Structure 1
C-alpha cells in the first residue's frame, strides 16, 4: 500500500455521523461526488476516480477524487488527483474522462472546461506509476471541432479495434440530435477528428437512447452466454433542463463493430438496446474494459455508476438542498458490476467479491414478510413451478409514512439480490439490468421485504471483512 493512502474509506464510513451515509460503497466522508472517472486496473490495483468537490455538497469547481483497491472489497482513499488550473483549459473544472497507459505511463484524458457552456477540450495529464501524483501542464489533445453543426462536446472515452487506438466523445448537434464524435489516436497528445460517427437519426439508437446530448459514452466488448462477444455502447441521456434530474436515465445499444472497407475506420451497427439501469437515481456510469474472471482472457468489462441525492422520486422521500448542505455530502458510487449478454439482452450483476461483505445471518429461507437491517444483503428465490411468479416489495417505514422503495416482479425460479446500504438500494435480477434507488430512513424506521407465495429470502447483515 502506498504511503500516500489517506485512510480506509469504508472504515471511516462506519463512524460517519449521518445515518444515511453508505458504509460499503467507498467515497470521501464529506463533499460532492458525481461521475466515476478514470476507472483502470494497473499494477494489480483497481483505480476509481470521480468528480469531486471537497469543499461543499454542491457541484462546483470539480476535481478528481481517487480511491483504489486490490480486491474490490478493501478500498483506500487518496489525495485529490486532478484540480482546475487557474487560467488553464480546465479552470472551471476537471470533468469526465478516462485513464489509460501510454507506454507504461498512466495518462488521464478528460474534459477540461473554462466556462459552464457546452464547450470543452480534451486535456491530458500524466501520473506516477501508482497513480497517486499527477502532472498537469494544460496540454490540450483535442479542441472543439470546427463544425457548426456540433454545439456541445464532452466526456472522452478510448477504445481499441483491429490493433489501433480510437477515441470518441459525446456531443449534441444544432438540429437537436445527440451524437458521437470519432477520433484516431496514434498519439495521446494529438487526437485526429474523423467526424460525426453515430447519431439519434439511427432508428435503433432513436428507440433506445433518445437524448439531446449523449453524455459519458462507453464502448466495450462483453461476453455472450452462447459464446463469443458483443460490442456494447452506453450513454447517459441528457436533456436540456436536467440539472442533475436525469429523467431519461442511461441507455445502451448492443451491436457489431466492423471496419469500413474504404477508410478502415470502425463502424458501429446497433441491433438492439434498452435501459442500462431501471432506477431513477442512476447516471453517468463508466465501464473499464479488461479480461475479468476468465481463464481464456475473453473480453470482459466492469461498470460503476453514480447514484445521486435528490428531492424524492416515484413516491420516495428525498432530501432537500438544505438537508444535503447540512449533511455535508452528496452522491455515492454503485458496487462494481459485471456485464454480459444473455439471449440478446444486457445482463448486469454485482462482482462476486462483494459477497465478502456478508456478515451475520439474519434469516434463512424466510417467507412472507421479512424485516431487513439497514445494512444488508438479501437473496430472494422465487418458487419453482407455474404458481411461483409474483411481486416483491421493499418498503421503508410503516403506516401513513411508509414508502415503497422497490416493487418488481419475480418469475418462477428467479433470484434477486438486494443490497441495502443506509440510503442506497441496489437490486439485481436474473437475466436483467440492475435497479438503483435512494431512500432515507427516518429515526426508528425499518426496512421490510414482502415476498410472494412460495418465495424465500436469505438475509445477511453487512460487515467489513478483516
Structure 2
C-alpha cells in the first residue's frame, strides 16, 4: 500500500503498479518533465498534467519540490490554460530559470492542436510556490514559411549571452531546431534555423525534433532531441537521440554547434522527452525523463492514472558516448537487504562482474543483458530503471499483480546485492 499526497489529503494507493518513490499525483495523466529549477536550495519540478483523466488532454503544469531529490512535496497546479489566452488549449513543454532573481518558466502555449505554439513567459513568487499567469508571449510563430511544427523552448548560455532553441519540422518532413536570442527574456529575437537533420549524423530519421536540450558537461556540449514521428504519436516506441560536440560563437555572432558522435539516450521501451538542467555544481547536469505506459490505454483508464517521471539521473560523458547514472542522492533510499530471488516492489539490485543477467517479474523477462563491470537496477512498482556503469540505460515498465514478484537469479561471473528501497 502506497501513500500519495494530493493537496492536503493523503490518499492510500493499493495499486502495486503505482510508484511509491517517484513523485506524481494520485490520479490523472502525467507526461514531460518541465520548468526544472533550483530556488534557495530547493528543486522545483513541474510536469504536464491532466488531473481529470488518464489521457493526454487539457494539459496543465503539476508541481512538486524537494530539498534532497528523494522526498518530494506536492503543490497546487502551477499553470492552467487561460481562456482566450496564448495557452487556451494547453500549457505544453518548457523550461525554468531564475531570471533577475525571479523564478521563471518559459513554455509552449497552444490554442489548437495543429503543431504550432508560441513562447509564453511567466514569473513566480520568490519561493517559486505561487504562479500568477499574465499570458505574456516572448516569441510568436516563426517567420519561415517552411516551419510546419514548432514547440518546446530551451534556454542556454554561451558567449556571455542567453539564447534559446525550439524544436521544429520543416515542410512536415525535415526535423530542425530554431535559434533565438533571449537576453531579453520577454522579447526574443528570431535567428532562423540552428540545425537540421542534414547537419548531424547518426540520429534516426523522423518528421520533427521535440524537446531540444543543449547542455555543457566539462569541455563537451551535449545536444538531446526527442524523435517525433507525426504518424506514430504516443504509441510509437520512444526514442531520444544525443549528439556530443562543441559549441562556439561563429563569425556571424551566433552560436554554432558541431557534432562529432551520436547515439541513443535510453535503449528501453518507455523513455521520452527528457529535460536536462545544470545543478549548482557547474560540472553536474541532472536529467529527468517521461516514463510512458506500455500497458493498453484501457488499463490506465481503469487504474485512473498514466505516466510518471524517472528518477533524476546524472549526465556524464565518456569520449564520444554519454552515460546516465542514478543521482547520488538516491542511495539514501536503501533501507536494508533484500532477497534477489523475491524482491519487493520497491528495490535496488546491484550486479557486478562479467556475464549475462536478467530481471523477471513472475515468469516474464523485464530486462536482460550483458554485465561488464557494474549495473544498478532500480524498481518502483511498475517502473524499472537499468543503468550499466559507463554504458547504456534502459527504462522499462512492468505491472505486478497477484503474487508475482520481481527477481534476479544469480549467474556465473556476476555478484548480486539487493536492497529494499524506502523513504526514511
TM-score, reference length from structure 2: 0.96
Q: Distance in 2 between matches of 1:53 and 1:460?
A: 34
Residue 391 in structure 1 maps to residue 376 in structure 2: no
CA contact (8 A) 2:260 2:320 kept: no
Structure 2 spans left out of the alignment, 5+ residues:
none
Deviation of residue 309 (structure 1)? Answer: 1.1
CA contact (8 A) 1:348 1:433 kept: yes
Residue 450 in structure 1 maps to residue 409 in structure 2: yes
* Alignment match, 1:426: 385
**SS of residue in 1 equivalent to 2:330:** helix
- When structure 1 is superposed on structure 2, of 163-172 and 353-362 the one drifting more is 353-362
Q: Distance in 1 between matches of 2:302 and 2:381?
A: 17
Classify 1:282/1:192 alpha carbon distance in 2 versus 1 (closer, same or farther; 3 Å): same
Residue 302 in structure 1 maps to residue 302 in structure 2: no
Task: Render the CA deviation track for 1:127-178: whole Å, top value 9, x for unaligned.
Answer: 1011111121111111111211111000000000011000000000106110
Task: Render the CA deviation track for 1:394-440: whole Å, top value 9, x for unaligned.
Answer: 1111xxxx2211011112xx111001111000001111231100010
- When structure 1 is superposed on structure 2, of 452-461 and 92-101 the one drifting more is 452-461
Q: 1:120 aligns with which of 103, 117, 122?
A: 117
* Alignment match, 2:274: 285
CA contact (8 A) 2:237 2:270 kept: no
Q: 2:328 aligns with which of 352, 358, 363?
A: 352
CA contact (8 A) 1:232 1:252 kept: yes
Classify 1:121/1:259 alpha carbon distance in 2 versus 1 (closer, same or farther; 3 Å): same
Task: Render the CA deviation track for 1:83-109: whole Å, top value 9, x for unaligned.
Answer: 000011100000000111220111111
* Alignment match, 1:69: 66
Residue 276 in structure 1 maps to residue 265 in structure 2: yes
Q: Give the root-mean-square deviation of aligned CA atoms.
A: 1.7
**SS of residue in 2 equivalent to 1:325:** helix
* Alignment match, 2:47: 50
Task: Render the CA deviation track for 1:190-239: whole Å, top value 9, x for unaligned.
Answer: 111001010001242xx22432111000000113xxxxx21001011000
Q: Distance in 2 between matches of 1:343 and 1:202?
A: 21
Task: Render the CA deviation track for 1:380-401: whole Å, top value 9, x for unaligned.
Answer: 111xxxxxx321111111xxxx
TM-score, reference length from structure 1: 0.87
* Alignment match, 2:367: 406
* Alignment match, 2:253: 264
Q: 1:380 aligns with which of 345, 351, 356?
A: 351
- Name the structure with the higher strand share: 2
**SS of residue in 1 equivalent to 2:18:** coil
Runs of 4+ more than 3 Å apart:
6-9
Residue 103 in structure 1 maps to residue 130 in structure 2: no
* Alignment match, 2:191: 194
Residue 328 in structure 1 maps to residue 312 in structure 2: no
CA contact (8 A) 1:121 1:140 kept: yes
* Alignment match, 1:17: 14
Deviation of residue 125 (structure 1)? Answer: 1.0
Deviation of residue 186 (structure 1)? Answer: 2.1
Residue 145 in structure 1 maps to residue 145 in structure 2: no
**SS of residue in 2 equivalent to 1:277:** coil
Deviation of residue 266 (structure 1)? Answer: 0.7
Deviation of residue 246 (structure 1)? Answer: 3.5
Matches within 5 A, 1:160-239: 160-174=157-171, 176-204=173-201, 207-223=202-218, 229-239=219-229
Matches within 5 A, 1:245-256: 245-247=235-237, 249-256=239-246
Q: Distance in 2 between matches of 1:56 and 1:430?
A: 38
- When structure 1 is superposed on structure 2, of 59-68 and 98-107 the one drifting more is 98-107
Deviation of residue 273 (structure 1)? Answer: 1.3
CA contact (8 A) 2:5 2:25 kept: no
Q: Distance in 2 between matches of 1:361 and 1:458?
A: 8
**SS of residue in 1 equivalent to 2:134:** strand
Q: Distance in 1 between matches of 2:172 and 2:35?
A: 31
Q: Distance in 2 between matches of 1:342 and 1:408?
A: 21
Residue 84 in structure 1 maps to residue 73 in structure 2: no
CA contact (8 A) 1:238 1:246 kept: no
CA contact (8 A) 1:290 1:301 kept: yes
**SS of residue in 2 equivalent to 1:25:** coil
Q: Distance in 1 between matches of 2:262 and 2:200?
A: 11
Deviation of residue 12 (structure 1)? Answer: 5.2
